[in-house]
Structure 1
Amino acid sequence: MKQIIITTALLSLSACARFGFGQPNDVGPVVGGSTAVIAAPDLPEATEQEVAAVAPDPVLTSAPPPPKAAKTQEALDTTTAEQRAQAAAPVTPAAQSKLLGTTIASLGSPSEPGFWLKTPLVKVETAGRVTNKANGKSSAVTLIPIDGPVTGGSRMSLPAMRLIEASLTDLTEVDVTLGS
């Protein structure tokens, strides 16, 4: 029964994000911590051709599925320390990141392993980075397209949510950039 209540609450929050209810005011990113390098407003916007030209990183999505009996964050997050370090590695100044947009993310399926963001901001699977606007923490992710308007909400993997120190029960505003 508890799982049904939690699932219903998360789906409700996701619907609120999709339709723009309860979204925080855009106050711009807070750059801080070791993983935020460039504030998103300073980035050029990406074109569809640029998005299609960037291949997703299979290392970020290659974690095994969690065991069926997993109930805690630690048990559900099957990524390795090396994968977490790679996802958290700061963007080098030479990297040419392009802004895809800002989205409100909720927790995606905790049973889907790896670092990913399912978002209407992309039309093809590609490599990207999400930056938590509240604290500046970022993670490399695989961007996976979903149907909906670009203003719709997104769903983020448990490991990515943990890495950017986002609340698993709240909606989190993130900047989404192309490349890792």
Structure 2
Amino acid sequence: MARFVPLLTLVALSAACAQLRGPAPEAHAEVAPAPAPVAAPVPARGVTTSAAALDTVSEAEKAAARAEAAAAPAAGPLGQATVALGDPADPGLWVKTALVDAERPGLVRTGGGDGIAVTLRPLGSDGGAQISLAALRALGLPLTGLHTVTLAAR
């Protein structure tokens, strides 16, 4: 009998472990389906992260604006303004400034002499002057920071 005690201990221990593990899986048990793959988040409608994607003014339109600024004499200088990037989702070539009280055609020039034809828009608030994303890109200016430009009416 002393020889069977270690064997009986092993059997008892094995039975106890089986109880802790729970019942053995049945051969016909249903397997839960794998969760559906999670799609990448979709940005809100109209929201993009690329400056190129937001700039809807074609290179041909920018070239025409440069040519118009080079050929068209200014009707009168309005003054200098320090501009920052305006609403990047607002398309077109424009500058919002307190120097005009109604929308009108105009020119914007950098300190280096580069210029483009733009639409001058009244600022309509106490904030600083703003320039469109397309206008900044057409002038070759960085999208960040403040830029001193000269504005003129056409």
Cα distance in 2, alignment partners of residues 96 and 177 from structure 1: 6
SS at match of 1:91: helix
Query: Which structure would you say has the larger RCO, counting Cα contacts within 8 Å and 6 or more residues apart?
Result: 1
Q: Post-superposition shift, 1:96?
A: 4.3
Quote the residue 1:105 is aligned against.
83
Quote the residue 2:116 is aligned against.
139
For the 8 Å contact 1:137–1:163, the answer to whether it is kept is: no
Give RMSD over aligned pairs.
1.9
TM-score norm. by structure 2 comes to 0.64
Question: Equivalent pairs: percent with the same residue?
Answer: 36
Q: Report how many aligned residue pairs link the two structures.
A: 109
Quote the residue 1:91 is aligned against.
70
**Rg (Cα) greater in structure:** 2
> For structure 1, which runs of at least 5 residues remain unmatched after alignment?
1-66
**CA offsets, 1:18-57, max 9 Å, x none?**
xxxxxxxxxxxxxxxxxxxxxxxxxxxxxxxxxxxxxxxx
SS at match of 1:74: helix
Matches within 5 A, 1:1-180: 68-89=46-67, 90-92=69-71, 95-133=73-111, 135-147=112-124, 153-179=128-154
> For structure 2, which runs of at least 5 residues remain unmatched after alignment?
1-44
Cα distance in 1, alignment partners of residues 131 and 104 from structure 2: 15
For the 8 Å contact 1:126–1:144, the answer to whether it is kept is: yes
**CA offsets, 1:150-170, max 9 Å, x none?**
xx7300000001111222111
